[in-house]
Amino acid sequence: MHSQDASLPVAFELIQKAVLTTDVKSEKDKWIAPQTKNELARQMITSAQHKQVPFGSVSQSPLGGRVFLKAKHSKLAIST
């Protein structure tokens, strides 16, 4: 939540790359996350809805690491 000079997170998730796979072409091992960033973002938005946080729109940072919830009728901005 963001109001005036203060920001508070509504939801927070670490991306856990816990699954080891081997790339077929390069034959290199790499770690992947069991859930995509999109799935995590959807869970965070659902969490905000269950917490009854009022928001009107959702946007994502260009780098894909943060989801921002914009308030409906005030200057309140919520970031997760």
Q: Would you state the pLDDT for residue 33?
A: 92
Count Cβ atoms within 10 A of the Cβ of residue 80 and give its class: 0-12 exposed, 13-18 middle, 19 or more buried: buried
Give the pLDDT score at 64: 62
pLDDT in tens, the chain (80 residues): 555 666 667 777 888 899 999 999 999 999 999 998 888 888 888 888 888 877 777 777 776 667 777 766 554 444 54
pLDDT of residue 80: 45
Its pTM stands at 0.62
Distance CA 44, CA 6 (A): 20
CB-based contact 23:30 (threshold 8 Å): yes
- What pLDDT, on the 0 to 100 scale, is given for residue 18? 93
Sorted by where each begins, the domain ranges of the chain are 2-79
SS (H, E, C) 7-69: ECCCCCCCCCCCEEEECCCCCCEEEECCCCHHHHHHHHHHHHHHCCCCCCEEEECCCCCCEEE
